[in-house]
Structure 1
């Protein structure tokens, strides 16, 4: 609170710092979401590949 009475410049610095922290939090959240999406995509591709392999095995043994 004392900074408000002393000068406006320190308040501006605090506001920029708050904005920077918020921007970093948003960036981390986006990166985390993107990382999660990549893991889900890899899991999905693995499951599809395994399904196709099992389908081919099934067709070969029951043809």
Structure 2
């Protein structure tokens, strides 16, 4: 008795791993937000978040 294995197309594997990666990254980011707020406090976290966002924008426009 032969068992046939279902061949999953490679583009579906790539798409599935991409979605899984995005879900894991979102979970880590949510966990790190609560962790950083507990360490830094709300005001220092707000400054950290603002400076990080500005740094990302500056690198995106290549100043």
TM-score (norm 2): 0.49
More helix by share: 1
The structure with the larger Rg is: 1
User: Which protein, 1 or 2, shows the higher relative CO under an 8 Å CA cutoff with sep ≥ 6?
Assistant: 2
TM-score by length of 1: 0.49
